[in-house]
Amino acid sequence: MRAVVQRVAGAAVRVDGNVVGAIDKGLLVYTGVGAGDSEADAAYIVDKVLHLRIFPDEAGKMNRDVVQAGGRILLISAFTTQADARKGRRPSFDAAMPPEQAEALYEGVVADLRGNNVDVQTGRYREHMLVESTNDGPICILLDSRRAF
């Protein structure tokens, strides 16, 4: 499972012109399920997202996680995080788990994050979404449960 984590001052997601999820300070997380991923991969992503110390403390050092900073999470399903663009000009998405199977793992990530004292907003699974964000930093972290990077 992969995730792109961005520290944001605010973010919102729209489907068919309507806001379906929005946060102020917190994390915008794009996550995608890979073929062969399991609940252990989902648990790894949840733990990393919850405990990444990328929010400033009183001294301005990145020492706080999203809960300690009083932040929220906007979680967006994005199979494109599984893209392989090493060959040619059109990315391959062969590494992504089929959407019917991936949905359960994605929903598990949502539930596990919500069970950890953080407000989690989401987009809509398998829908075309417009995501707006104000990156704070900029801070962008790439996560991979298989530790490929």
The pTM of this model reads: 0.96
Written as one string, the DSSP assignment of the chain is: -EEEEEEEEEEEEEETTEEEEEESSEEEEEEEPBTT--HHHHHHHHHHHHH---EE-TTS-EEE-TTTTT-EEEEEE-GGGG-B-SSSSS-B-TTBPPHHHHHHHHHHHHHHHHTTS--EEE--TTS--EEEEEEEEEEEEEEETT---
Give residue 149's pLDDT: 79
pLDDT at 88: 94
- Mention the CATH class of domain 2-144: alpha beta
pLDDT of residue 148: 85
In tens, the pLDDT along 128-137 reads: 999 999 999 9
Ordered by start, the domain boundaries in the chain are: 2-144
Residue-level pLDDT at 70: 97
pLDDT in tens, 68-93: 999 999 999 999 999 999 999 999 99
